[in-house]
Amino acid sequence: MSILRAVELEKIYQDKGIPVIALKDVNFGVEEGEFLAIAGPSGSGKTTLLNLLGGLDEPTSGKVYLGNTELGSLNKNQLAEFRLRKIGFVFQAYNLIPVLTAEENVEFVMMLQGVISSERKKRVGRILEELGIGDYAHRRPNKMSGGQQQRVAVARAIVSEPLVVLADEPTANLDSKTGSILLDLMADMNKKKGITFIFSSHDKMVMQRARRLIILQDGKIVIDEVK
């Protein structure tokens, strides 16, 4: 059974009163444990689609289901709570809190979830070690490289055990070697822990590692293939 479904998704923006179709007639499901990349040229709608899947934006029409929940059925507060507990996000710009250490950044989501301190500390220590940044636990973001910051962002996304992790261009600000290492770490997490990853990217390294590839063109799915 699909843990995530996009049903007849359409997104239309207004540009100076002129409607611009960003997505049209998008339908697909995602099974638990998939390592999926959504790709396509700039302006194809991939980031728009990821934002709809994560409840960061609302479709003009159509529905997104995560588990048995239709995101459009939730009010603003319910949606925020649902995202907090069910969806992990990795952004191109890292989005770490600059005054917090790596450890505190990773712990932050679990604090909001009400996880007890001893459990938070145990999970944070374990995930930082698994991602190879245990020695950076007490450093703030400005004392870490881009690759180290993005590993912290990945740790934050997966430590709370969400249903799905959505990663928007996670390698865009990294050099190819650092990006390759990060992708290998996420692929390893996917295999060992069964974490479901959905990427939005035009990076060939992401597309090569993905076990399923969806390609958008002009807001429509033109390819959906399992490797």
pLDDT at 1 over 80: no
Cβ atoms of 166 and 54 within 8 Å: the answer is yes
Rounded distance between C-alpha atoms, residue 146 and residue 153, angstroms: 10
Q: Which of 61-65, 66-70, 79-83, 191-195 has the lowest mean pLDDT?
A: 191-195
d(C-alpha 130, C-alpha 120), whole Å:
15
Query: What pLDDT, on the 0 to 100 scale, is given for residue 225?
Result: 96
Q: What is the mean pLDDT of the chain?
A: 93
**DSSP labels, 198-224:** EEE---HHHHHH-SEEEEEETTEEEEE
Domain locations along the chain:
32-58+73-226
* C-beta separation of 81 from 29 below 8 A: no
Query: Which of the 8 DSSP states describes residue 79?
Result: H
Task: Considering only residues 22 and 92, tell me which one the structure prediction assigns the higher pLDDT.
Answer: 22
Token pair for 69: 């929940």
Q: Which CATH class is domain 32-58+73-226?
A: alpha beta
At 94 the pLDDT is 84
User: Is the pLDDT at 75 greater than 80, yes or no?
Assistant: yes
Q: Compute the average pLDDT of residues 125-129.
A: 93
What are 141-185's pLDDT values in tens digits?
Answer: 999 999 999 999 999 999 988 999 999 999 888 889 989 998 998
Q: pTM for the complete prediction? A: 0.92
Confidence of residue 43 (pLDDT cuts 50, 70, 90): confident
- pLDDT of 110 reads 93
Tell me, letter by letter, the H, E, C secondary structure of 13-67. EEECCEEEEEEEEEEEEEECCCEEEEECCCCCCHHHHHHHHCCCCCCCEEEEEEC
